Amino acid sequence: MFALAIHGGAGTIARASLTPDAERDYRAALEAALATGYGILQQGGAALDAVEAAVRNLEDCPLFNAGRGAVFTHEGHHEMDAAIMAGHTRLVGAVAGVRQVQNPIRAARLVMEQTEHVLLAYPGADELAREHGLPLQPPEYFFTQHRFNQLQEALREGRMRLDHSQAQPGAVPDLPATAPLDEPDKFTAAPDPNWKKGTVGAVARDQHGHLAAATSTGGMTNKRYSRIGDTPLIGAGTWADDRCAISCTGHGEYFIRAVAAYDITCLMEYRGLSLAEACRIVVHDKLAPAGGEGGLIAVDAAGHVALPFNSEGMYRASRIEGGQAVVAIYK
């Protein structure tokens, strides 16, 4: 069976933290991205093309922390990471800290197909994209008021914050006139002190039996020193081979320490576990006790899909050949 799964971030996503309008917007965006990738698979297209197209769709949507909706760094700009991997060839490409590329996942595939390298960082990754004619955008393209508001809150709190998180009630004083919160934030109905994780990703099995994975993120609000998370690190946040394809979302430092994505394929290979059991062990038995809140999406060689998470919610959608689209946010 061919199959596709996508995610748009995981974390403490309580029903009370989203307005009805925001929930409707998120579901519609997930449905659109799923339909884009699934349509490619349905027509006999490659898994690699399907995951890239689905992630590009999410990158173009300002609701998600990737591409156009990427969060701000401490210095007030954007540093975006992405990775893509083809399971049957083990070919992979990744970029870190890109600032101008409209779709970082396209730059990651460019690294895979047009260079001898695996991972390129800013400014070289942006230069490669420019040389090959990928669309580049000015800072204004990536700006969203919602993300700017998050940066102002995080600056006043004096810490990094993971996607969508809101300040605790009373924790953020009035901001100076030079940086006003001048637009109501429709994405949260009430202040939420919990952290939410923001990354987008897709995994697929095509009609030829090939697997692929793709992941893209803007990282952490108020991040400093060119911090890089798990997304572009192969085996940590992204992985694909002949057994399974994985895309992770969560607090990247924990996924890096656990080599989370690669650990799943190891459990399948060396212990003979099913995809579902291998994912359960990594997400709930290894990451959760260590403080690694988040989740992942996975597909195996038979087209089975797993979407486990140890947080309160995860923006996710999936569709298997012959089945209906499933879109969900909460547990």
The distance from CA 214 to its chain's CA centroid, rounded to whole angstroms, is 8
Helix (H) or strand (E) holding 239: strand 238-240
Active site annotation includes 73 = no
Helix (H) or strand (E) holding 295: strand 294-300
| Given 12, 73, 188, 199, the catalytic residue | 199
What is the C-alpha to C-alpha distance for residues 238 and 260, in angstroms, rounded to an integer? 9
Q: What are the binding residues?
A: 227-230, 249-252
What is the C-alpha to C-alpha distance for residues 70 and 220, in angstroms, rounded to an integer? 9
Say what the alpha-carbon torsion angle 151, 152, 156, 160 is, to the nearest 10 degrees.
0
Q: Identify the sign of the CA torsion 240, 34, 119, 134.
A: positive
Tokens linked to 221: 């609000």
Q: Which residues contact 186 (CB under 8 A, 6 or more apart)?
A: 19, 21, 22
Q: What are the binding residues for substrate?
A: 227-230, 249-252
Q: Is the backbone peptide bond immediately before 104 cis, with ω within 30 degrees of 0?
A: no
The distance from CA 219 to its chain's CA centroid, rounded to whole angstroms, is 9
Residue ranges in 115-226 assigned as alpha helix (H): 124-131, 139-142, 145-157
Q: What share of the chain is helix, strand, coil (3-state, %, to 5)?
A: 35, 25, 40
Which residue numbers are catalytic? 199
